[in-house]
Amino acid sequence: LDSGVGPGARLAAAVYRASARVHRGAAPGVRRQLLALDAARYGDRDLSARISAVPVEGEPAARWGVDWATGSDVDARFRCAFTGHTGEVGAVATAVVDGRPIAVTGSGDKPVRVWDLTTGKQVGEPLTGHTRGVRAVATAVVDGRPIAVTGSGDKPVRVWDLTTGKQVGKPLTGHTRGVRAVATGVVDGRPIAVTGSEDKTVRVWDLTTGKQVGKPLTGHTDYVSTVATGVMDGRSVAVTGSWDKTVRVWDLTTREQVGKPLTGHTSWVWAVATGVVDGRPVAVTGSGNKSVRVWDLATGQQVGKPLTGHTREVGAVATGVVDGRPVAVTGSEDGTVRVWDLTTGKQVGEPLTGHTDYVSTVATGVVDGRPVAVTGSGDKSVRVWDVATGQQVGEPLTGHTSSVLAVATAVVDGRPIAVTGSGDKTVLVWNLTNGKQVGEPLTGHDGEVRAVATGVVDGRPIAATGSEDEKGMVWDLTTREQVGEPLTGHTREVGAVATGVVDGRPVAVTGSGDKSVRMWDLDADSQPVDRVFAQAGKVRAVAVADIGGRQVLLVAVGRWLRLTDPATGRLTGPRLSGHTRPVTTVATAVTDGRPIAVTGSDDGTVRVWDLSTYRQTGPALTFPAPVKAVAVTPHNTHLTVAFGNDIATLSPH
């Protein structure tokens, strides 16, 4: 795969790698489907269609095609994966050795590795010597030789000759706790290294002699987590960031702090880089408070407003020049990389599309005549997607302060809306036309809201919600008031809710971790219909379907979907089996006049069932991560699946 030449070959290699752990041992038909999915995740729909069209001996033509998919878990810029480290890679630097570009990486597995960036191959044996994980790497040139300087939790700093792969001299000792940051520079014509440590000090080392230069630089009151070097007014300086939330500038000639600490971050400073904007030296810092800040090193003042957009900690910053303009590149635990124009303070282009944490729920609806998918995620946001194009509609809907765990759609006063439940214990209603929250949050639950369903009672749209507080609630979506008393009786969390019509009466159905399903008459002040159905295990999903004029409850218990008669609580047919791990989600629809159910599972598959025959229709669809939600568009033309951090829409051929 590494030998591929040109963008097409590199893309094909990246697509193959994306889910190789899943498809390597799979049958050819499954491999075809997964490769088509990953081609769409990398943004190449034509390649996805071509893969789906490939004939496979002994297999029918692909029944489903991938229309589009988000790529939160993959990045088309990462064409080649360097594998070898067995721990988290937390440090990287680049250099040139014998005219060839290389990368030097440090990991929690202790060895330092060197990679040829042209071939993607490891250069020589790993550099061993550190006894704990390597957290910091920098490169420099000493006496004409390229070297790497590494810092570790084992306290000593080590210097490596990148030509020979040998350690240079003895370890640089002095820090009394782990080293978290390393940078290199030049002071008075001599190459130096600057290190920051958990002992709260900054130390400067002469790389020619291997000796510490002067006394430690002190002032930070917590771990020194990041360091960069630069030039200000012709003087070499170091810029350090700390868990004490400050940034400090040090004159490396006098070893004195320059001015006062740079304050503004409200959480620890994880990353720093230096650059030049309009002829003035600046530092760019990333923090645990999700923001990026730019500082004028001459005045010690912040330049403009913080650069905001990341939704989690910013742990990596680099600077450069693009088309003659200074830029900063930032990486975050939200899974995105963003580029910023340092002259204007604006983000350049779009970040990687998609949710930045697991997608927990999906529903479908119609906005302005177009089918949409509405997704909720652990990143606390709700996003709306055009099912036909895969484009996000508007900005993310933000308001929840914890993970979005459930979503359903409805129409209120002619407007399409979404109803979402969250770990913050609230229910929010959203106008899908303008992307605005409707009214105040619906409050009353005392635990995470894990399930939401919508329906109609007496011509009025309602929502039914289930929570870890062991109760359900019903809400009038027109007035946004609670209807009746809470639905109580379960003794564990209510993680599944559905609405429907049974015997001509609107009902809500709740499923719980207490191994029971309860049915509630919504025409009778939300009192139970005197029907409590015991199950064989925890109920993860419920739905109501019409099979030949009979109402049937679909109950996901363990690896099976159980069809239950709502009048007697007895099974009305065989358990639908095939999944190898718990069924997490179920959706229903009518296709060609036949009722179907679609199930998703932690085993990473989606299965479609003909409820008239109790048989699976076609092979299972395989995904590279557990499936947490499925939804079918109102016209049954598309299937939307949430897996991992991504969603995909498929349509039958």
Q: What percent of the chain has pLDDT over 90?
A: 68
pLDDT of residue 78: 45
Q: Which two tokens stand for residue 603?
A: 């085993």
d(CA 640, CA 363): 8
Strands 460-467, 449-457: parallel, antiparallel or unpaired by DSSP?
antiparallel
Average pLDDT over residues 13-21: 88
pLDDT of residue 354: 67
pLDDT of residue 526: 47
Q: What is the edge-to-edge ordering of all strands in the sheet holding 100-107?
A: 89-97, 100-107, 112-116
Q: Tell me which residue of 613, 617, 554 sits closest to 583, measured CA to CA.
A: 554
pLDDT of residue 352: 44
Those residues with Cβ within 8 angstroms of residue 564's Cβ, 6 or more apart along the chain or in another chain: 517, 533, 552, 553, 554, 555, 570, 571, 572
Residue carrying the six token digits 């639908």: 576
d(CA 471, CA 450): 11
Sign of CA dihedral 61, 65, 71, 75: positive
Average pLDDT over residues 353-372: 82
Residue-wise pLDDT tens digits, 322-331: 778 898 888 8
Q: 11 in helix, strand or coil?
A: helix
Average pLDDT over residues 202-223: 95
Asked whether residue 13 carries a pLDDT value surpassing 90, the answer given is: no
**Which amino acid type is present at position 366?**
V
Residue-wise pLDDT tens digits, 439-478: 999 999 999 999 999 999 989 999 999 999 999 999 999 9
Instruction: List the single range of 181-190, 529-538, 596-605 with lowest mean pLDDT.
Output: 529-538
Average pLDDT over residues 586-597: 91
**Dihedrals phi, psi of 507, to nearest 5 degrees:** -135, 160
d(CA 16, CA 20): 6
d(CA 152, CA 53): 51
d(CA 335, CA 272): 19
**C-alpha 351 chain-centroid distance:** 13
Asked whether residue 353 carries a pLDDT value surpassing 80, the answer given is: no
Residue carrying the six token digits 């923001």: 291
Task: Tell me the domains of the chain and their CATH numbers.
Answer: 7-62 (no CATH), 359-652 (2.130.10.10)
Q: What is the edge-to-edge ordering of all strands in the sheet holding 280-287?
A: 269-277, 280-287, 292-296, 301-302
For the chain, give the mean pLDDT: 90
Q: Which two tokens stand for residue 649?
A: 């829409």
Residue-wise pLDDT tens digits, 157-191: 999 999 999 999 999 999 999 999 999 999 999 99
Q: How many CB atoms lie within 10 A of CB 332?
A: 23
d(CA 416, CA 394): 15
pLDDT of residue 76: 41
Strands 527-534, 605-610: parallel, antiparallel or unpaired by DSSP?
unpaired
What angle (nearest 5°) sits at the alpha carbon of residue 97, between those of residues 95 and 102? 50
Average pLDDT over residues 393-422: 93
pLDDT of residue 336: 67
Asked whether residue 120 carries a pLDDT value surpassing 80, the answer given is: no
- What confidence category does residue 495 fall into, taking pLDDT thresholds of 50, 70 and 90? very high
pTM of the model: 0.65
Asked whether residue 39 carries a pLDDT value surpassing 50, the answer given is: yes
Q: Tell me which residue of 518, 513, 552, 551 sits closest to 532, measured CA to CA.
A: 518
Those residues with Cβ within 8 angstroms of residue 59's Cβ, 6 or more apart along the chain or in another chain: 27, 28, 29, 32
Q: How many CB atoms lie within 10 A of CB 190?
A: 13
Residue-wise pLDDT tens digits, 232-271: 988 999 999 999 999 999 999 999 999 999 999 999 999 9
Asked whether residue 542 carries a pLDDT value surpassing 90, the answer given is: yes
Average pLDDT over residues 14-37: 92
- What confidence category does residue 29 fall into, taking pLDDT thresholds of 50, 70 and 90? very high
CB 121 within 8 A of CB 102: no
Could you write out the DSSP letters of every residue in 404-434? EEEEEEEEETTEEEEEEEETTS-EEEEETTT
CB 276 within 8 A of CB 284: no
